[in-house]
Chain A
């Protein structure tokens, strides 16, 4: 499947499309201009067949950052962090802070490295045909993300359950975490959709419970509050008993 290659957007192209022709996190805002270079099937993903209802499709094609892009954007990210340090009243020249802009920039790139990976790629090579149709659950998967509103960490646990329909997924693939700037609600949905598309199971359930540092460290400052979101697809949504079994099994 060649789609993975043709959907690589370089950061240069990103800058050209600053007015909104970008595909990110399932949001598609406008027409996509394709770069002349690069192995791309002409017009295979051309604008006409994109619409907001094709959110699932466009989300599948996210890959907006490569390792080279990372290297190239490091200096500007570091410069931005130096500005922030100054703006906070700190002295960026003092020993403890000398290399902080670089470290902070690399850390931030790591936290958002989901932009480099596509969920479909991560899942695709570990799908096996297996005649198993009982529930499979992987729970207590630690998850780290960043809140897209305050750029402050979110961390918590993900519980995933699915009812296979002749195809099962390598278990560690379920546990691969995608680091992106996200709404927790959206992340929950995206994990569920990714599994559905990769496996076509009879049903998928995803529950995320997380602590949002933006609530704990600032704002309302509620120490112990957790946010829980869930997505149920297929059997998990329609059959209350299945959902019940899943919810009971993930409670520890």
Chain B
């Protein structure tokens, strides 16, 4: 069973390589963790200057009281909102995987998620529901939420985010199956463009038994529904 998941993960990586950018895929992944925390401090002035520029070109007066320190605050804010680039799954999971003879579904649902749309750099946020069927290895529950944090605190596309969370968990645990569902509101749709207030985008990723067995998938979807 776990080899099947492994196959799917392999496929995902190679497909993603072709689909997104060819040579860039490895570069892209290198960039995913290319920002170390120590570098943040040193990059702050450049970000600050960029924000000052932005405010000026929007017609604002950067010397007025309310905006005096805004470039610095905005720079730190956006660094915080993209802090997922710092972290890798290994960093946070290493000591929280336990051998447990449990092979029933485990679901952690309603995990609040905040991310930035990579197309407009505007937030999108919502809830993540994760389910997995362990294969002798279970993970500390809050680690699932931390995995969501790592991948969501980046410039993202909801589809990719969903898949990254699912493959991240598969690689770490080799479970019998992983399912991830994300339901989010995109401010780029709500605040601009079509301006649809109440629309939500739902994406899902099913790996392993969740993909193969419709009943397992159904059970997950039922148990993680909004009550």
Residues of A at the B interface (CB closer than 8 Å) are 11, 14-15, 18-20, 22, 24-25, 27, 29, 64-65, 69, 73, 76-77, 79-81, 83-91, 93-97, 99-100, 103-104, 107-112, 115, 142, 144, 148-153, 155, 181, 183, 213-214, 216-218, 223
Most buried by B among A22, A95, A144, A151: A151
Question: Pick the contact of A90 from B31, B50, B122 — CB < 8 Å?
Answer: B31
Residues of B at the A interface (CB closer than 8 Å) are 20-21, 24, 27-28, 31, 34-35, 39, 43, 46-47, 49-51, 53-54, 56-61, 63-67, 69-70, 73-75, 77-82, 85, 112, 114, 118-123, 125, 155, 157, 187-188, 190-192, 197
Most buried by B among A64, A93, A213: A213
Q: Which residues of B contact A95 (CB under 8 A)?
A: 20-21, 24
Q: Which residue of A lies closest to B154 (CB)?
A: A90
**By the criterion CB–CB under 8 Å, are B47 and A84 in contact?**
yes
Q: Which residue of B lies closest to A99 (CB)?
A: B119
- A223 and B121 contact, Cβ closer than 8 Å, known pairs A76-B57, A83-B50: no
Q: Which residues of B contact A181 (CB under 8 A)?
A: 58, 60, 67
**By the criterion CB–CB under 8 Å, are B191 and A144 in contact?**
yes
Q: Which residues of A contact B61 (CB under 8 A)?
A: 14, 18, 20, 22, 24, 27, 29
**By the criterion CB–CB under 8 Å, are A64 and B85 in contact?**
no
Contacts A81-B121, A87-B75 given; 5 further ones with Cβ under 8 A?
A93-B24, A144-B190, A216-B125, A217-B81, A223-B112
| Chain A nearest Cβ from B76, distance in angstroms | 8
Q: Which residue of B lies closest to A86 (CB)?
A: B46
> Closest 8 CB pairs between A and B?
A89-B35, A73-B57, A151-B74, A104-B121, A83-B50, A65-B59, A80-B50, A80-B53
